[in-house]
Protein backbone atom coordinates (compact mmCIF):
# COMPACT_ATOMS: atom_id res chain seq x y z
CA UNK A 1 0.00 0.00 0.00
CA UNK A 2 1.11 3.56 -0.64
CA UNK A 3 2.58 5.30 2.40
CA UNK A 4 3.12 8.96 3.28
CA UNK A 5 5.72 9.94 5.86
CA UNK A 6 4.03 13.33 6.24
CA UNK A 7 0.72 11.69 7.16
CA UNK A 8 2.46 9.53 9.70
CA UNK A 9 4.11 12.58 11.30
CA UNK A 10 1.08 14.84 11.42
CA UNK A 11 -1.73 12.39 12.24
CA UNK A 12 -1.24 12.83 16.01
CA UNK A 13 -1.40 16.64 16.09
CA UNK A 14 -4.35 16.68 13.68
CA UNK A 15 -6.17 14.07 15.78
CA UNK A 16 -5.85 16.38 18.79
CA UNK A 17 -7.55 19.17 16.82
CA UNK A 18 -10.35 16.86 15.68
CA UNK A 19 -10.89 15.58 19.22
CA UNK A 20 -11.28 19.18 20.37
CA UNK A 21 -13.56 20.43 17.61
CA UNK A 22 -15.67 17.61 16.15
CA UNK A 23 -19.15 17.13 17.60
CA UNK A 24 -20.34 13.62 18.45
CA UNK A 25 -21.75 11.90 16.59
CA UNK A 26 -20.22 13.40 13.46
CA UNK A 27 -20.43 12.74 9.76
CA UNK A 28 -17.16 13.89 8.20
CA UNK A 29 -16.30 14.37 4.54
CA UNK A 30 -12.56 14.26 3.83
CA UNK A 31 -11.42 15.98 0.63
CA UNK A 32 -8.22 14.55 -0.82
CA UNK A 33 -7.73 11.44 1.32
CA UNK A 34 -4.53 10.41 -0.47
CA UNK A 35 -3.08 7.23 0.99
CA UNK A 36 -5.98 6.87 3.44
CA UNK A 37 -3.70 6.92 6.49
CA UNK A 38 -5.59 9.80 8.07
CA UNK A 39 -8.99 8.24 7.45
CA UNK A 40 -7.90 4.95 9.02
CA UNK A 41 -6.16 6.51 12.02
CA UNK A 42 -8.94 8.92 12.86
CA UNK A 43 -11.73 6.34 12.68
CA UNK A 44 -9.68 4.05 14.91
CA UNK A 45 -9.26 6.80 17.51
CA UNK A 46 -12.43 8.91 17.33
CA UNK A 47 -15.71 7.51 18.66
CA UNK A 48 -19.04 7.98 16.86
CA UNK A 49 -17.58 9.29 13.61
CA UNK A 50 -18.76 8.33 10.12
CA UNK A 51 -15.87 9.18 7.80
CA UNK A 52 -16.26 9.58 4.03
CA UNK A 53 -12.88 9.54 2.22
CA UNK A 54 -12.59 11.01 -1.27
CA UNK A 55 -9.95 11.67 -3.90
CA UNK A 56 -9.52 12.10 -7.62
CA UNK A 57 -10.79 9.13 -9.62
CA UNK A 58 -7.28 8.06 -10.66
CA UNK A 59 -6.23 7.77 -7.00
CA UNK A 60 -9.16 5.67 -5.80
CA UNK A 61 -7.69 2.15 -6.27
CA UNK A 62 -4.76 2.79 -3.90
CA UNK A 63 -6.98 4.63 -1.42
CA UNK A 64 -9.60 1.89 -1.39
CA UNK A 65 -6.92 -0.78 -0.88
CA UNK A 66 -6.08 0.71 2.51
CA UNK A 67 -9.70 1.30 3.46
CA UNK A 68 -10.66 -2.28 2.63
CA UNK A 69 -7.70 -3.63 4.59
CA UNK A 70 -6.42 -1.62 7.56
CA UNK A 71 -9.50 0.58 7.57
CA UNK A 72 -11.89 -2.12 8.71
CA UNK A 73 -9.84 -3.23 11.72
CA UNK A 74 -10.03 -1.78 15.21
CA UNK A 75 -12.60 0.92 14.49
CA UNK A 76 -13.46 3.07 17.49
CA UNK A 77 -16.80 2.45 19.17
CA UNK A 78 -19.65 3.68 17.00
CA UNK A 79 -17.37 4.76 14.15
CA UNK A 80 -17.55 3.83 10.49
CA UNK A 81 -15.13 4.23 7.56
CA UNK A 82 -17.00 4.33 4.27
CA UNK A 83 -15.68 3.22 0.88
CA UNK A 84 -13.77 5.87 -1.04
CA UNK A 85 -15.61 7.95 -3.59
CA UNK A 86 -14.33 10.13 -6.42
CA UNK A 87 -14.32 13.89 -5.98
CA UNK A 88 -12.81 16.63 -8.09
CA UNK A 89 -13.79 19.79 -6.19
CA UNK A 90 -14.15 21.80 -9.40
CA UNK A 91 -16.12 19.21 -11.35
CA UNK A 92 -18.14 17.34 -8.76
CA UNK A 93 -20.47 15.83 -8.01
CA UNK A 94 -19.91 16.34 -4.31
CA UNK A 95 -21.26 13.63 -1.98
CA UNK A 96 -24.69 14.35 -0.59
CA UNK A 97 -24.85 16.37 2.59
CA UNK A 98 -25.45 17.54 5.07
CA UNK A 99 -22.25 16.71 6.94
CA UNK A 100 -21.01 17.93 10.30
CA UNK A 101 -17.50 18.66 9.06
CA UNK A 102 -15.41 18.87 5.93
CA UNK A 103 -11.74 18.09 6.56
CA UNK A 104 -8.86 18.47 4.12
CA UNK A 105 -5.14 18.18 4.74
CA UNK A 106 -2.35 19.38 2.45
CA UNK A 107 -4.59 19.91 -0.55
CA UNK A 108 -4.95 23.67 -1.04
CA UNK A 109 -1.32 24.07 -2.12
CA UNK A 110 -1.43 21.02 -4.41
CA UNK A 111 -4.65 21.67 -6.32
CA UNK A 112 -4.63 24.46 -8.91
CA UNK A 113 -5.25 27.90 -7.42
CA UNK A 114 -8.46 28.18 -9.44
CA UNK A 115 -9.83 25.13 -7.61
CA UNK A 116 -9.38 26.48 -4.08
CA UNK A 117 -12.54 28.64 -4.26
CA UNK A 118 -14.40 25.54 -5.46
CA UNK A 119 -13.14 23.62 -2.42
CA UNK A 120 -14.45 26.26 -0.03
CA UNK A 121 -17.75 26.75 -1.87
CA UNK A 122 -18.37 23.02 -2.16
CA UNK A 123 -17.71 22.55 1.54
CA UNK A 124 -20.16 25.32 2.39
CA UNK A 125 -22.85 23.65 0.28
CA UNK A 126 -22.64 20.28 2.03
CA UNK A 127 -22.15 21.52 5.60
CA UNK A 128 -25.10 21.56 7.92
CA UNK A 129 -25.73 24.80 9.85
CA UNK A 130 -22.86 25.33 12.33
CA UNK A 131 -20.90 22.59 10.51
CA UNK A 132 -17.11 22.98 10.39
CA UNK A 133 -14.56 23.32 7.60
CA UNK A 134 -11.06 22.34 8.76
CA UNK A 135 -8.12 23.02 6.43
CA UNK A 136 -4.68 21.77 7.47
CA UNK A 137 -1.41 22.70 5.82
CA UNK A 138 1.14 25.49 5.34
CA UNK A 139 -0.27 28.97 4.77
CA UNK A 140 1.35 32.32 4.15
CA UNK A 141 0.15 35.42 5.98
CA UNK A 142 -0.58 38.69 4.24
CA UNK A 143 1.64 37.78 1.31
CA UNK A 144 4.61 36.76 3.47
CA UNK A 145 5.79 33.28 4.31
CA UNK A 146 5.90 32.43 8.00
CA UNK A 147 9.04 30.28 7.76
CA UNK A 148 12.00 29.83 5.43
CA UNK A 149 11.06 26.18 4.95
CA UNK A 150 7.62 27.21 3.71
CA UNK A 151 9.14 29.68 1.28
CA UNK A 152 11.43 26.97 -0.09
CA UNK A 153 8.51 24.56 -0.36
CA UNK A 154 6.45 27.16 -2.21
CA UNK A 155 9.29 27.71 -4.69
CA UNK A 156 9.59 23.96 -5.18
CA UNK A 157 5.86 23.56 -5.84
CA UNK A 158 5.69 26.42 -8.33
CA UNK A 159 8.69 24.94 -10.11
CA UNK A 160 6.73 21.75 -10.66
CA UNK A 161 3.55 23.56 -11.68
CA UNK A 162 2.94 27.33 -11.51
CA UNK A 163 -0.69 26.63 -10.57
CA UNK A 164 0.42 25.05 -7.29
CA UNK A 165 1.78 26.92 -4.29
CA UNK A 166 1.20 27.79 -0.65
CA UNK A 167 -2.00 29.81 -0.27
CA UNK A 168 -2.42 32.94 1.79
CA UNK A 169 -4.57 32.60 4.90
CA UNK A 170 -6.11 36.02 4.24
CA UNK A 171 -7.35 34.77 0.86
CA UNK A 172 -8.81 31.63 2.43
CA UNK A 173 -10.65 33.83 4.94
CA UNK A 174 -12.05 35.96 2.09
CA UNK A 175 -13.25 32.86 0.26
CA UNK A 176 -14.85 31.55 3.43
CA UNK A 177 -16.59 34.84 4.20
CA UNK A 178 -18.11 34.87 0.71
CA UNK A 179 -19.70 31.51 1.55
CA UNK A 180 -21.00 32.58 4.99
CA UNK A 181 -18.30 30.57 6.77
CA UNK A 182 -17.14 32.27 9.94
CA UNK A 183 -13.58 31.88 11.28
CA UNK A 184 -13.51 30.20 14.69
CA UNK A 185 -9.90 29.07 15.15
CA UNK A 186 -6.41 29.21 13.66
CA UNK A 187 -4.45 26.42 15.31
CA UNK A 188 -0.65 26.48 15.15
CA UNK A 189 0.64 23.03 14.19
CA UNK A 190 4.11 21.45 14.07
CA UNK A 191 6.47 22.00 11.12
CA UNK A 192 5.11 25.49 10.33
CA UNK A 193 1.63 24.24 9.50
CA UNK A 194 -1.76 25.50 10.66
CA UNK A 195 -5.33 24.30 10.87
CA UNK A 196 -7.81 26.94 9.77
CA UNK A 197 -11.29 26.26 11.15
CA UNK A 198 -14.48 27.87 9.90
CA UNK A 199 -18.10 27.39 10.94
CA UNK A 200 -21.11 27.67 8.65
CA UNK A 201 -23.53 30.31 9.83
CA UNK A 202 -26.61 28.93 11.57
Whole-number Cα distances in Å, 51 to 16, 41, 56, 135: 17, 11, 17, 16
Residue 69's domain spans which residues?
A: 5-200
Query: How many domains does the chain fold into?
Result: 1
Is the CB of residue 107 less than 8 Å from the CB of residue 31?
yes
Q: Is cis: bond before 42, omega within 30 of 0?
A: no
pLDDT at residue number 71: 78
- The pLDDT tens digits for 33-59 are 999 999 999 999 999 999 999 999 999
Q: Could you tell me the pLDDT band of residue 72, with boundaries at 50, 70 and 90?
A: confident
Q: Could you tell me the pLDDT band of residue 77, with boundaries at 50, 70 and 90?
A: very high
Selection from 106, 66, 111 nearest residue 88 by Cα: 111
CATH of the domain at 40: 3.40.50.150
Q: Could you tell me the pLDDT band of residue 135, with boundaries at 50, 70 and 90?
A: very high
In angstroms, the CA 70 to CA 43 distance is 11
Angle subtended at Cα 61 by Cα 11 and Cα 158, rounded to the nearest 5 degrees: 60
Average pLDDT, the chain: 96
**Phi, psi for 154 (deg, rounded to 5):** -60, -45
Selection from 1, 120, 98 nearest residue 52 by Cα: 98
- The pLDDT tens digits for 14-29 are 999 999 999 999 999 9
Whole-number Cα distances in Å, 185 to 18, 27, 122, 161, 182: 12, 20, 20, 31, 9
Amino acid sequence: MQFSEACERNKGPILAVLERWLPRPARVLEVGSGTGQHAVHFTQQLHQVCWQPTDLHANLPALQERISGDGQAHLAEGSQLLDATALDVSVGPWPDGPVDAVFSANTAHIMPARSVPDLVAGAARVLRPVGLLLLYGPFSEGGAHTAESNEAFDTYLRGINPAMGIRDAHWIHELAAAQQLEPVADVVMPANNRTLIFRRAS
